[in-house]
Chain A
Amino acid sequence: MQASELLQSYLVDDHTWDEMYYDASVRKQYQKALAFLQQLSVDELNKKEELAKRLFMSQGITFTVYSSGEGIEKIFPFDIIPRIITSAEWSFIEKGIKQRLTALNLFLKDIYSNQFIIKDGVMPAQMIYSCPHYLREMHNFPVPYDIYVHISGIDLIRDSDGSFYILEDNLRTPSGVSYMLENREITKRIFPDLLPQNNVRSVTEYPNILHRNLVSLSPRQVANPTIVLLTPGIYNSAYFEHTTLARLMGVELVEGKDLVVDNHKVYMKTTMGLQQVDVIYRRVDDEFLDPLVFDPNSLLGVAGIMSAYRKGNVAIVNAVGNGVADDKAIYTYVPAMIRYYLNEEPILKNVPTYHLDKAEEREHVFKNIENMVIKKTNESGGYGMLMGSAASEKEIIEYKEGVIKNPREFIAQPIISLSSCPCYMNGSLQPRRVDLRPYALCGPGGIEIVPGGLTRVALKEGSLVVNSSQGGGSKDTWVLGTP
């Protein structure tokens, strides 16, 4: 391989798994794509980057930042170089996620009914009752087909030896799938013919599978059940995603104020009067869903929707109360759940996690704090966490005080380095850290995962934080077909 200008500044960190490079040579799955990129000039690549930006802009794939009274449209940063996953890697990931989700679903059913897992001493009861996302409102309510997690976005990372770890299970209202779909559309435009040449598997089935699953959940046996996607509204940062999914599935996009509950049935307000709703794919969090049951100040939800749900007159997707299963402290018990419910060894590993309410573990973490990341158990999006390697002494001391006050609200993990992947930066390729979020859909027919997902990338050099709220971007994610 000739050293081209493009690769001159591609310096892989020794202790990092690089997705493209191995022992100074290019991994097989990247060879074709890289050869294609190398025959393009910097000028051409810049033009492609420009085209990608323009396409995002003109399709309104933007979010609005409000400052000094006016809205400024921004696009989520998109890196034009795809992240490539081999078919062998994918089938491993797929098997692992299916196993994990099966166990998590059984856990939710169990924990909201018989609670065998507590009675058998696998998990302490205190773990459950101290979790703010455990909702008594869901107790002894059989959800349709025993499915709680219809849609999940489980985050995976790769340590320095290349093995996959589960970073977190997102089982409530995981977002980002529209970027999986749109990023692929953009790649089709900026790199004509490259996808078929590389035998990349398609992700376009996602909305069809989801729609089919939603239809199958309808409590009424009618030919055309009414399915709606409930959005918090136009000011939500994921609003674009809500409209995209509604459009791709051909379902109605509604806000809380469009719905009304009468006699334990949910209706939407149309130009010709009320019309009964059968299935709600909600993108509103549990606590805002029903002001009569949860936060009474919520304007995003629908009064009475929980009663309609419990009567079985409407299906809600994902089920209410899932937060107890993706809580960061409960996370440590998932391998035990897999063994307990499935009698199998976990395929995908957990990141070692320390409970800070256990004194000896807390001590260990505090002693090695420069190699630890401490997270709040009920926060997501990269908020409220401390990177031991990057924090100042003062920050550490303040954070420790917070931990000691409420140890149940924190967990710690050793800093996992995250694999790196080539990104196009100012005329050359440079390694940046990535994670992977595949989207799994669970319906009465089983679990399906479209081959792909969202690769989030930390665009700052050396950064390990990929969240979009913290300066992260995304990439198109290719899963290659069997060679």
Chain B
Amino acid sequence: MNSSGFPLQGVRGFHMLSRVADSLYWMSRYMERADGILRMLKINYASSQDDIQEFSWKPALKIFNFLSDEKADDLAQNSRAVLQYLVTDKENSNSVLNIVTQARENGRSVQDHITKEMWQCLNDFYHAVRSDKLIAFLQREDPITVLDSLIKHGVLYFGTTDVTMSRGEGNAFINIGKYLERAVQTADILDIKFSNLQYEPDTPADTTYWKYMLMSISGYELYLKTYRSGFNATNVMEQVLLNETFPRSVLYSVNHLHHYFERLKNDKNMVAYNQVDFMIGKIKSRVKFSTSQSILQEGLHHFLTDTKSSLYQIATAFSHNYFSHG
């Protein structure tokens, strides 16, 4: 029995193949990653058209890629080249094209475990991001239109998943992948955005810098409603890390990670469950019982590095315990 009181099994009364769980988890991680990159690109492109001194493509290039400084500097000069590299470049293993291909390949091998509608979303997304028309459009026309159309494909997938996927084990693996990926992504974005400011939260930065950063994770409006006193780095950090109602915050992601993980609780697998549960519980408490002040005292970079490494350890232990039976 799991925490919600229902025995969590497949509809036919048996458990999911480890291979299938593995593929669902990665399909979901890749889709979350694609969504993150696209939103970040859209806002970064918008800010590149705005008159702000601080703007550079470099952080964006560094979050999702392992480019050398030199190559990143080169590329960062040209918005279109950056977009091409991050969206449609076949050589870049972290381009949206390759990430969506990975998501779809994972989905393809578990088509009988996701709904037909979800599979169609993955397929349409895949064909859209590969179309020659899109590549040409991205080079010549308004990139926001292109990015919006791709973001919509992702949103359609998320909505379809929510509306059609049965709330069984498969759904739990999908959500575990999603929130784990999101927590890491948010921590990454924050780390890189603040590193630009050398971790001096009191440095008076251009407010547009924070505005665009929040917009890239859809947190701008919430910020305006929460903090009436204008932009302040400490407040931004607080919202992005600790706001329990902000769906992209690290705390929100970790809470949901835990929630969906608890659904896997089962008498047959208690040793594995307890081990991973302990790890998730630990990071959850650490984030929950931090304040913006305690984080600044500890050092933001240290806090984020520590958080990320805990998340990576969870991912490793999780896949070891759930995906490699036999």
* Chain A residues within 8 Å of B, Cβ to Cβ: 57-60, 70, 73, 224, 226, 233-234, 239, 243-244, 246-247, 250, 252-255, 257-258, 260, 268-275
Contact = CB atoms under 8 A, between A and B. Distances in A.
Interface stretch (B15-23, B142-150, B224-232, B242-250): B15-23
A116 B111 CA distance: 47
A239 B119 CA distance: 14
Nearest to A73: B127
Contact of A271 (B12, B21, B111): B21
Contact of A57 (B108, B123, B266): B123
Nearest to A247: B112
B17 A268 contact: yes
Contact of B266 (A246, A252, A257, A272): A272
Contacts of A250: 11-12
Given A258-B18, A268-B17, A270-B16, 16 more contacts: A58-B124, A59-B120, A60-B108, A60-B122, A73-B127, A224-B13, A224-B14, A247-B111, A247-B116, A250-B12, A252-B14, A252-B112, A254-B17, A272-B15, A272-B269, A273-B269
19 contacts: A57-B123, A58-B124, A73-B127, A243-B111, A246-B112, A250-B11, A250-B12, A253-B110, A269-B17, A270-B14, A270-B15, A270-B16, A271-B18, A271-B264, A271-B323, A272-B266, A273-B15, A273-B269, A275-B14
B129 to A, nearest CB: 13
Interface residues of B, number: 33
B326 interface: yes
A255 B108 CA distance: 14
A273 B268 contact: yes
Contacts of B268: 272-273
Among A246, A255, A272: residue with most chain B CB under 10 A = A272
10 cross-chain pairs, A with B, having the tightest CB-CB distances, nearest first: A270-B15, A243-B111, A269-B326, A246-B112, A247-B112, A272-B15, A272-B268, A269-B325, A60-B123, A234-B109
B320 to A, nearest CB: 12
A252 B124 contact: no
Given A58-B120, A272-B266, A273-B268, A253 B112 contact: yes
Contacts of B13: 224
B90 interface: yes
Contacts of A59: 116, 119-120, 123
A70 B119 CA distance: 21
Given A270-B14, A272-B15, A70 B325 contact: no
Nearest to B321: A271
Contacts of A73: 127
A257 B105 CA distance: 18
B322 interface: yes
A60 B119 contact: yes
Interface in B96-114: 105, 108-112
Contacts of B188: none
Nearest to A246: B112
Contact of B19 (A58, A239, A257): A257
Interface in B268-326: 268-269, 322-323, 325-326
A255 B17 CA distance: 10
A269 B119 CA distance: 24
A271 B169 contact: yes
A272 B111 CA distance: 21
Contact of A275 (B15, B105, B123): B15
Given A260-B326, A272-B266, A252 B17 contact: yes
Contacts of A255: 19
A253 B107 CA distance: 13
A240 to B, nearest CB: 8
B18 A269 contact: yes
A219 B319 CA distance: 34
B17 A70 contact: no
B325 A57 contact: no
Contacts of B326: 260, 269, 274
A270 B116 contact: no
B190 to A, nearest CB: 33
A260 B18 CA distance: 13
A271 B123 contact: no
Contacts of A246: 112
Nearest to B111: A243
Contacts of B116: 59, 247
A287 B140 CA distance: 55
A243 B112 contact: yes
B123 to A, nearest CB: 4
Contacts of A234: 105, 108-109
Interface string B163-180: 000000100000000000
A239 B268 CA distance: 32
A258 B108 contact: no
Among B11, B323, B326: residue with most chain A CB under 10 A = B326
Given A58-B120, A58-B123, A243-B111, A271 B16 contact: yes
Nearest to A59: B120
A233 B111 CA distance: 12
Nearest to A249: B112
Contacts of B119: 59-60
Contacts of B109: 233-234
Nearest to B13: A224
A366 to B, nearest CB: 49
A59 B127 CA distance: 11
Contact of B325 (A226, A239, A244, A270): A270
Contacts of B17: 252, 254, 258, 268-271
A226 B14 contact: yes
Given A60-B108, A252-B17, A258-B17, A273 B325 contact: yes
Contacts of A260: 326
B325 A274 contact: yes
Contacts of A269: 17-19, 325-326
Nearest to A57: B127
Nearest to B273: A272
Among B16, B19, B124: residue with most chain A CB under 10 A = B19
A258 B123 CA distance: 25
A397 B124 CA distance: 50
Contacts of A271: 15-18, 21, 169, 264, 269, 322-323, 325
A323 B160 CA distance: 44
Given A252-B17, A271-B325, A274-B325, A70 B12 contact: no
A253 B116 CA distance: 15
Contacts of B264: 271
A226 to B, nearest CB: 6
Nearest to A253: B112
Contacts of B14: 224, 226, 252, 270, 275
Interface in B6-62: 11-19, 21
Nearest to A240: B111
A137 B268 CA distance: 38
